[in-house]
């Protein structure tokens, strides 16, 4: 599938591996700000691709695996150089074993 943002071909049909764009999503403006707006990823590497593209100016801080309502989330808390924090939720339930929670 071709990404409408960067034009690259992707094997996956959910998120562009290269630029982080959500593909074929009924909600095009997922921002990861909550579990309801969590970014669905298929690997940890995809989390970092998304953050590189959508969290420019913020650097890594804390990362935590959390179970919320029976679903696995990888939660990153990022900081910019002015001390502003941003929390990003990634839905990792598609590849993270439920029995590991």
pLDDT of 77 higher than 90: yes
Residue 14 within any structural domain of the chain? no
Residue 50 within any structural domain of the chain? yes
Residue 9 within any structural domain of the chain? no
How many domains does one find in the chain? 1
Compare 50 and 29 and report the one with higher pLDDT: 50
Instruction: Give me the residue label for tokens 């071709």.
Output: 2
Residue 48 within any structural domain of the chain? yes
Residue positions counted in the chain: 101
pLDDT at residue 26, as a whole number: 46
pLDDT at residue 76, as a whole number: 97
Residue 61 within any structural domain of the chain? yes
pLDDT in tens, 8-28: 777 766 666 656 665 555 445
pLDDT in tens, 51-76: 988 888 999 889 999 999 989 999 99
Strand order of the β-sheet with 39-40 is: 39-40, 85-91, 71-80, 58-68
**pTM for the full predicted model:** 0.71
Cα 87 from Cα 73, distance rounded (Å) = 12
Residue numbers of the domain that contains 65: 39-100
């Amino acid at each position: 599938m071709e990404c409408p943002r960067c034009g690259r071909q992707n094997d996956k049909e959910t998120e562009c591996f290269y630029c982080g764009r959500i593909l074929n999503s009924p909600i095009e403006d997922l921002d990861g700000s909550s579990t309801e707006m969590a970014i669905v990823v298929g690997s940890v590497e995809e989390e970092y691709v998304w953050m590189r593209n959508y969290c420019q100016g913020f650097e890594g801080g804390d990362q935590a695996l959390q179970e919320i309502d029976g679903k696995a989330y990888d939660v990153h808390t990022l900081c910019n150089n002015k001390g502003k924090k941003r929390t990003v939720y990634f839905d990792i339930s598609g590849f993270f074993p439920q029995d590991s929670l």
